[in-house]
Amino acid sequence: MDVFNGFLSVAVHVVVAVLLVFYLPISWICKLIVSVFVKPFTKEDVRGKVVLITGASSGIGEELAYQYATRGASLALVARREHALREVAKIALRKGSPDVLVIKADVSNQSECKRIIDETIAHFAQLNHLAVNAGILSSSLFEEISNISAFRQVMDVNFWGAIWTTYYAIPHLKNSHGNIIVTSSIAGHVPTARMSFYNASKAALIRFYETLRSELGSDVKITILTPGYVASEITKGKFLQKGGEIEVSKEVRDVQVGVLPVGYTDKFAKVVVDSACHGDEYVTWPSWYKPFHAVMFFAPEIVDWYSRTFYLTKPGVDSSNALSRRILQATGAEKFLYPYSIRSPDNKLKDIREIQKK
C-alpha cells in the first residue's frame, strides 16, 4: 500500500498538470465566447417573479431589494427589525415592485426559517430567487474572547440561517428552476486575523453551496458572492465584541478595514442581480480581489504575514494601535476610501432620504 501511495503521489501530480495545461486554455476560450456571444442574449427577466431576501433591512440586502424592485420582481423581505423593513418595502414599491411582503423573523432559529418560506409561498404561491444574505461579523482575537458561547450566533446566523432557509425553499425553487444567491465573503477564501469565527462561517457557506450545486445540477442555479468590504452596518463598525455584545465601534472598524477601499453597496447589488440573472456561479467584487485566491493557494504564508503585520499588536498593547488603523489615521485616507454613508453610525436616516430622492 505504501508503494502504491508513493506511485500515486507522483502520477497524480503529473496527470493533473498535463490536464490543466490543455484544459485551462480551452476553458478560458469557451468562457470568453459565452460571455461575448451567449450571455447578452440569455439574461433572465425577473418581472413578475418572486424574490426572497434575508437580512433585507440594511446594507447589501436592502440594495438587492431595490435592484430587484426596479426590474419588476415581487419581494419577500426578511429581517429582525420590522420598522426598518417597512421603510425598505415602501421604497421598493416606489421603485417598481408590484408587491412586497414584510416578514419579521430571526434566521438563527430553524422554525423561523420554515415560517419564512411558508409565509412567502402562502402569499405568492411561488419562489424564484432566494438571497440568503443575513449575517453578523465578529472582530476579536480568539484568546481575548471572554464569552465564547456568545460566538455561536455567528455560525447560527451566517451559516445555519442560510442552510435552514435553503432547506425549506429547495422544493419551490426546483419547481421554478430558480436561483439561490449566497452572500459569502472574500474572507471565506482569504482569512485575516481577528475574524476567526466570521471567516469560518463564510468558508463553510462556500463549501456547502458548491457541494449543493453539484447535487442539484441544473434544477437550481447557485450564485456565490465573495465581495470585499462594501458599505453596510458592518463597515460602519457593528461587530460582535469579545465580551459577547454587539456594538458599533469606529475604532474596531478602522483596525479591521484599515486602508482597504469600501465599495458602494448599490453598485455591488446591481452587479449581483445582473450576474444572478445571467446564471453566473461566482461573483467576486471588486474584481481586484480575485488574485488573492491564488495567493492563498500558492503562498499562504504571505496572507499570514499580512494578518500579523497589519492587524495584531504586541502583548499588552491596545488593539486600536494596530498598524492598519495607524496608517489610516496618518494618511487621512478614510475620506477617500470610505463612502460618506459609513463614516458615521447616524447616517442611516440620511441614506434613506437620499434614496427616496432618486
- The catalytic position among 198, 209, 311, 338 is 198
Q: Are 240 and 194 in contact (CB under 8 A)?
A: no
Cα Dmax for the chain:
71
- Give catalytic status of residue 168 as yes or no: no
Distance of CA 115 to the CA centre of its chain: 23
> Which residue matches cell numbers 456594538?
247
Quick count: other Cβ atoms within 10 Å of Cβ 232?
A: 23
Nearest alpha-carbon partner for 148 in 242, 71, 7: 242
SS3 content of the chain, % helix, strand, coil (to 5): 60, 10, 30
Q: Contact 231/263 with Cβ under 8 angstroms?
A: yes
CA 332 to chain centre: 28
Distance CA 343, CA 220 (A): 39
Q: Which amino acid is at 341?
A: S
Q: First and final CA of the chain: distance in angstroms?
A: 68
Between the alpha carbon of residue 1 and those of residues 6, 11, 15, the distances in Å are 8, 15, 20
Q: How many angstroms separate the CA atoms of 311 and 306, rounded? A: 8
Look at phi and psi of residue 262 and say left if phi exceeds 0, alpha if psi is from -120 to 50, else beta.
beta
- CA 42/CA 63 separation, integer angstroms: 24
Rounded-to-integer distance, Cα 57 and Cα 192, Å: 27
Residues that are catalytic: 198
